[in-house]
Amino acid sequence: MGADTTARSLEAALTHAFAPVHLEIEDDSARHAGHAGAAGGGRHFNITLVSAAFDGHSLLEQHRMVNAVLKDLLGGEIHALGLHTVPATEWEKGGSEE
């Protein structure tokens, strides 16, 4: 599966599960060329995901929620995943900074 296809799969799964207020998916694979995980075809992605589904959940719970949705892609099409999750209520208050 190519990077574009994987990114589309990520977008579809995350949109379906979280109805995001904001979603950014960055393919960071080029920065990891030559890395052992990249040799197997696994891609590196960074995701910023803002959703009301995260309201009231700790950061750890938010990441577990995302990992559960993406479990079929992790370790296969996706070798590494950087997550920046934000509850919608925090985003609306200007909490979008990293």
Domain 3-92: state its class: alpha beta
- What does pTM read for this prediction? 0.81
Residue 75, judged by CB atoms within 10 A of its CB (0-12, 13-18, 19+), counts as exposed
Question: Distance between CA 77 and CA 8 in Å, rounded?
Answer: 12
Q: What is the pLDDT of residues 64-94, one digit of tens each?
A: 999 999 999 988 888 889 999 999 999 977 7
- What are the sequence ranges of the domains in the chain? 3-92
Which residues, other chains included, contact 89 with Cβ-Cβ below 8 Å and sequence gap of 6+?
A: 52, 55
Sheet containing 78-87: order of strands: 22-27, 43-51, 78-87
pLDDT score at 94: 73
